[in-house]
């Protein structure tokens, strides 16, 4: 089973069956009523970095991160996590390469679960080696500089008319602006929760 399949399984198993079925039915009924305009409906009431209020809240949480903040799980330091997030945003922006590990399941069901099911992402899901700290990820240099870079990347990433075309996600394949800004929120939130901020 590939990493993305493990994400989907972990996300499904991590939620109670009733909660996940209820969330799915609720979204399914509302999307039916709108004749299949699924994407905007799914993202409408969910946190996304394209929402300035949500983006500012994420940037405020980032400002609370300290270099010596200990993780609640995982092996990355706070500084390594900043570099990991920078690398992760640089992949869709075409500034860093990451190998694909995708298939039909990852590009459909797993992507939907990861982006739209109202549960936190599971801990310890493997990442691509090119953005993994200690393997191919960017090594930490100066905490304040790396933090400023991440803030700048998030601002560029969420520009409605970006100066780049989004590259495919290594697991989820092609994604729209709405999907990318939803992913950006979820991925950043996941790692900020990892450090209790």
Domain residue limits, the chain = 3-194
What global pTM score does this model have?
0.76
* 181 neighbors 49 (Cβ within 8 angstroms): yes
Tens-binned pLDDT, residue by residue, of the chain (197 aa):
454 444 444 443 344 333 433 443 343 333 333 334 444 444 456 899 999 999 999 999 999 999 999 999 999 999 999 999 999 999 999 999 888 887 788 888 989 999 998 889 888 887 887 878 888 788 899 999 999 999 999 999 998 777 788 998 888 999 999 999 999 999 999 999 999 99
pLDDT of residue 45: 67
Beta bridge partners of 169: 173
Residue where the block lists tokens 């997030």: 85
**DSSP structural state of residue 91:** T
* CA–CA gap between residue 178 and residue 180 (Å, rounded): 5
Q: Which residues, at least 6 apart from 173, have a Cβ–Cβ distance to it below 8 Å?
A: 102, 106, 107, 111
pLDDT of residue 30: 38
* 154 neighbors 23 (Cβ within 8 angstroms): no
Quote the Cα angle for 173-113-152, to 5°: 60
């Amino acid at each position: 089973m590939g990493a993305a399949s493990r994400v989907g399984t972990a996300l499904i198993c991590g939620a109670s069956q009733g909660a996940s079925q209820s969330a799915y039915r609720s979204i399914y009924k509302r999307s039916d009523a709108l004749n299949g305009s699924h994407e905007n409906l799914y993202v409408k009431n969910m946190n996304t970095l394209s929402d300035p209020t949500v983006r500012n809240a994420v940037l405020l949480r980032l400002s609370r991160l300290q270099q010596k903040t200990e993780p609640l799980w995982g092996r990355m330091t706070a500084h390594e996590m900043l570099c990991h997030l920078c690398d992760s945003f640089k992949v869709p922006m075409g500034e860093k390469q990451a190998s694909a590990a995708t298939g039909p399941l990852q590009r459909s069901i797993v992507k939907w679960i990861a982006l739209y099911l109202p549960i936190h992402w599971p801990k310890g899901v493997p990442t691509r080696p090119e953005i993994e700290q200690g393997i191919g990820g960017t090594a930490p240099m100066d905490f304040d500089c790396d933090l400023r870079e991440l803030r700048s990347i998030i601002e560029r990433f969420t520009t409605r008319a970006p100066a780049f075309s989004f590259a495919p996600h290594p697991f989820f394949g092609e994604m729209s602006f709405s999907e990318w800004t939803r992913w950006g929120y979820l991925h950043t939130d996941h790692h900020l929760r990892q450090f209790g901020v």
